[in-house]
Amino acid sequence: FQVVIPRTVRESLRLRPGQKMQVIEYDGRIEFVPERDIAELRGFLKGINTEFEREEDRV
């Protein structure tokens, strides 16, 4: 099948022609999840709090 995605959605999600999508059937609807190249994911967690309390080691 071919699906037409509105321009505003394509631009906001930065979709490219020919980009692969995962198609998921969920709760009676179809969801399209764009597959991203690993290089595109660089920096997407920037600013996330990585601090956590660690328990003392048990010896």
What is the CATH classification number for the domain harbouring 44?
2.10.260
List, for residues 18-28, the tens digit of each pLDDT value: 889 999 999 99
Q: Which structural domain range is residue 14 located in? A: 1-54
Instruction: Report the domain count for the chain.
Output: 1
List, for residues 7-57, the tens digit of each pLDDT value: 999 999 889 898 899 999 999 999 999 988 888 778 878 888 888 888 888
Would you say residue 3 lies in a domain?
yes
3-class DSSP state for residue 8?
Answer: helix
Tokens of 50: 């990585």
Nearest of 32, 28, 27 to residue 6 by alpha carbon = 32
Cα–Cα distance between 31 and 24 in angstroms, integer? 5
Would you say residue 40 lies in a domain?
yes
User: In the prediction, which pLDDT does 21 show?
Assistant: 92
pTM to 2 decimal places: 0.55
User: In the prediction, which pLDDT does 24 show?
Assistant: 96
User: In the prediction, which pLDDT does 40 show?
Assistant: 75
Would you say residue 59 lies in a domain?
no
